[in-house]
Amino acid sequence: MSKKAFIGVYGCQMNIADAERMEGVLKTLGYNRVNEMQEADLIILNTCCVRETAEDKVYGKIGEIKHLKQQNPRLIFGITGCMAQKEGEALIKRAPHIDFVLGTGRVAELGNVVGQLEDEQIQHFVDTTMDDAVEAASRMPVEREGTLSAWVPIMYGCNNFCTYCIVPYVRGRERSRRAEEILSEVRDAAAKGYKEITLLGQNVNSYGNDQEGFMSFAELLKAVDEVEGIERVRYMTSHPKDLSDEVIEAVKNGRHICEHFHIPVQYGTDKLLKRMNRKYTVAQYKALVGRIRSSVPNASITTDLIVGFPGETEEDFKGMLDFLSEIRYDAAYTFIYSPRTGTPAADMPDQVPEEVKKDRLHKLMDVQNEISLAINEKLVGSDTEVLVEGPSRTDKSVWTGRTRTSKIVLWPYEGNEQPGELRRVHITQAQTWLLKGKLAE
C-alpha cells in the first residue's frame, strides 16, 4: 500500500512551486498526495509569514494536527517555508508534536529527513541554514498541480528590503537559475502537455543581475516564447524600478508572451513610497505605465496596494485615491499593512489604528472596483481569445478560461470544448472581477 501525504500550502506562487517539488521528492519515497489531513501518514505545512493572518492560520492548523498526532503517534508532521525559516527551533518549543522544521533553503533535504523519521533514527530535526535553493530547484523532481499551467521558478530571494517586507530575511539574497536549466524545465512541461508557463521570482526583472554572463530577463522571456507547445507565457512578480523597456518590447513582439503587466506600486504618494523604501517616485512610475500603454495599448495592468502604512495621513490617503483614479488599473490586490517583527516598518512611529486601516481599505476597494467594472464594460460586444480551463467549480454547465490579459471569462458549455484549447468568446456581460459570454461563431 502506498503512503499518503498532505501538503498544505500558504502564501505565494513560489510556495506552490516549492510544494510541487516536495511532492516530487515524496513520490520517490512511495507517498501519494491526498486532500484531507485525516487520511495522511505525513503532513507538511508549507508556510508564509508575509502577513500576520497567514501565521495565525498556520498556528490554528498546528493545533488541529496535535489531535491527529495523539490519535496516530506514527504520523510525521513538518513545517517548511518562510515561517519555518523565521521561527526555526521556536516552532518545536511551542509545539513539540512537530517532527521537523526545514527553512526555505533546505527543501532538498526533505527526502533524507522523512526517511530518518520513518526509521526512527531521529526524533526532531531543525535546519534553517540559508543554503542554495537554486541548486535544490534543479535537483528535485517536480510533481505538478493541474494539467494546463506550470509554475517555473527562475530565481530566489530579494535584494530590495522594502521596509514592510520580511521576504529578504527569509528567502535571502537574489540568486538566478541557469537559463539552460529553466528552459529544460519549460520544455519538459510542454512535452507533458502544459500549455501555460508562469516564470516565478520575487523580482523577475532583475533576473541574471547576480551572475556575470547570464542573459537578461527580456532575453529569457524571448527564449521561453520559442519553446514549441507553449501557448501562453506569464511571469511574476515585477518590481517597477527594474521593469526595462526591453521587457516591454519582448511582450509587444512576442507570440505567446501575455499582454499583462503586474507592477505592484504599493502606494500612490512619494512620501509613503520613500518610507516603504520602494526606490522610485510617483512620476517615474507614471512614466513606466505611459511607456507600457504606448507600446502595448491592449495590455492590462494590475497592481498591489497597501493601506494603513505607518505615518499614513488622511492627506496621504486622498493622494492614493487620486493616483488610483488617474492610473486606472484593470485590477488591484489590496492589503492592510501588517507589522512583521524584524522589519524596519514594525518599529516606525505613527502606526495607524486598525479601525482606520479597515475604513480606508473599504474606500480604496470601492474606487478600484468602480474602475475595474468600467474597464471590463468596454469589452462587451468584443471577441477575445481564452485558454480553456474547464468547468467552473460551482456550475459544471458553465466553463471558464482566461484571456491573454489575465481576465477570467465564463460561458455556457457547448459540448465540444476541451481544456487547453484556445477558443474565441464573444463577451456579452461584464462584472468587476470577470467577464461572461458565449463561444464566438
388, 147 contact by CB (below 8 A): no
**Chain-centre distance for alpha carbon 78:** 22
* Cell representation of residue 316: 496621504
Three-state secondary structure string covering 263-295: CCCECCCHHHHHHHCCCCCHHHHHHHHHHHHHH
Question: Does 49 belong to an annotated binding site?
Answer: no
The span from the CA of 222 to the CA of 201, in Å, is 17
> DSSP letter at 257?
B
Question: Does 165 belong to an annotated binding site?
Answer: yes
Q: Give me the half-sphere count of Cα atoms (radius 13 Å) on the Cβ side of residue 343.
A: 26
Question: Does 258 belong to an annotated binding site?
Answer: no
The span from the CA of 304 to the CA of 357, in Å, is 16
Question: Does 12 belong to an annotated binding site?
Answer: yes
Placement of cell 500549455 in the chain: 195
- Listing DSSP states for 170-190 in one string gives HH-S-EEPPHHHHHHHHHHHH
Residues forming beta bridges with residue 387, ordered by sequence position: 402, 422
Write out the E strands in 10-140: 31-33, 42-47, 76-81, 100-102, 125-127
345, 166 contact by CB (below 8 A): no
Annotated binding site: 12, 48, 82, 158, 162, 165
Annotated binding site for [4Fe-4S] cluster: 12, 48, 82, 158, 162, 165
